[in-house]
Amino acid sequence: MTIVLAFLVGGLYAGGLYMMMRRSIVKLIMGLILLSYATTLLIFTVGGLTRAAPPIVPAGVSEPPVPFADPVPQALILTAIVISFGVLAFAVVLIEQTHRSVGTDDSNNLRGIEGEL
């Protein structure tokens, strides 16, 4: 599965980056989301895969039975996806407000102050 996931991660990166490079800012949103999936899955994959053994200690014993999935990448991912969620929420609203304020969804029309030179 690691190999499959490696390709999946690469694919998600490619997809996310491709979408981000579109001119439509609506697609930019999708690209950002795909990119955050890609990162999440990457950490999960490189952190090592262990099937169906959650890092939870059964009641009454003091350690989980081996093998168990590495809890550290899980905790990291949890933090990371939560953070990306917050950031994405903001980014999405920002894009919407930009569209509303500027009246375009073509990022070529959003050259900002650089366009003034």
Partner 1 sequence: MLVAVLSGFGLSLAAPWAVRVGRLRGWLFALLPLLLTLYFLSFTPAVMTGEAITASYNWVPSLGIQLSFYLDGLSWLFALLVSGTGIFIFIYAGAYMADEPLIGRFYAYILIFMASMLGLVLADNLLTLFIFWELTSFSSYLLIGFKHKDEAARKAALQALLITSGGGLALMAGLILLGLAGNSFEISALVAGECLTEHPFYVPTLLLILAGAFTKSAQVPFHFWLPGAMTAPSPVSAYLHSATMVKAGIYLLARFTPILGGTALWHLLLPAVGGLTMLVGAYLSLRQVDLKRILAYSTISSLGALVFLLGLDIPLAAQAAIVFLIVHSMYKGALFLIAGILEHETGTRDVTALGGLARIMPLVALAAGFAALSMAGIPPFFGFVSKELLYETTLGLQDNAILFTTLAVIANMMMVAVAVLVFVRPFTGQLVETPQQPHAVPLGLWLGPLALGLGSLAAGLVLAQVGAILIAPAVSAVVARPTAVKLALWHGVNPMLILSILTVLGGLVVYRYRHSYRRISNRLDMGRQWGPAKWYEFGLEAMLSLGRLQTRVLQHGYLRIYLLTINLVFFVLVGLTLVTKHDFAGQLPSTDLRVHEAVIAAIIAVAMIVVLFARSRLAAVVSLGVVGYGIALIFVFFGAPDLAMTQFAIETLTVILMVLILYRLPPFATFSSRGQRIRDAVIALSVGALITTLVLVSTTVTQPTLLTSYFAENSVPAAKGRNIVNVILVDFRGLDTLGEITVLGIAALGVYALLRLRTPSQRKVDLTATVETELVAEQDKSKEVEAM
Partner 2 sequence: MILELPTIILMLGLILTVARLIRGPSLASRVVAFDLMTTIGIGLIAVYAVMTGQPVFLDIAVVLALISFLGTVAFAFYLERSKR
Partner 3 sequence: MGLLLLLPLLIPFVTAALALLTWRRRRIQRALALAGSIGLLVSALVLLLVVWRGGIQVVQVGNWPAPFGITFVADLFSAIMTVLGGIIAVAVVIFSHASVDSRRERFGYYPLLLFLMMGISGSFLTGDIFNLYVWFEVMLMSSFVLVALGNERAQLEGALKYVTINLVSSAIFLTAVGVLYSVSGTLNMAQLSVQLSQSRQPELITVVAMLFLIAFGIKAALFPLFFWLPASYPVAPVAITALFAGLLTKVGVYALIRVFTLLFTQDIGFTHALLLLIGALTMVTGVLGAAAQNEFRRILSTHIISQIGYMVMGLALFTPLALAGAIFFLIHNIIVKANLFLVSGAVYQLQGSFHLKKLGGLYRSHVGLSLLFLISAMSLAGLPPLSGFWAKFLLIRASLEVNQPVIAFVALGVSLLTLFSMTKIWAEVFWKNRPETAPAPKPLSTSVRLQLLLPVAGLSCLIVGIGLLAEPIFILSSQAASQLLSPAEYVTAVLGGTP
* Interaction site with partner 3 (CB under 8 A): 20, 25, 28, 32, 35-36, 38-39, 42-43, 46-48, 72-73, 76, 79-80, 83, 86-87, 90-91, 94-95, 97-98, 101-102, 107, 110-114, 117
Q: Which is nearer to partner 3, 60 or 63 (CB)?
A: 63
Stretch that binds partner 2, among 16-24, 26-34, 47-55, 89-97 (CB under 8 A): 47-55
Q: 14, 46, 49, 56: which one contacts partner 2 (CB under 8 A)?
A: 56
Amino acid at 90: F
48, interface contact from partner 3, Na ion, partner 2, none, CB < 5-8 Å by kind = partner 3
Record the tokens describing residue 63, joined without a space.
């350690």
115 burial type by CB count under 10 A (0-12 exposed, 13-18 middle, 19+ buried): exposed
Does residue number 48 form part of the binding site for partner 1 (CB under 8 A)? yes
Number of residues that bind Na ion (CB under 5 A): 2
Distance, in Å, from the CA atom of 79 to the CA atom of 90, rounded to the nearest integer, reads 17
- Residue position matching structure tokens 């090592």: 48
CA distances from 95 to 30, 75, 79 (A): 12, 30, 24
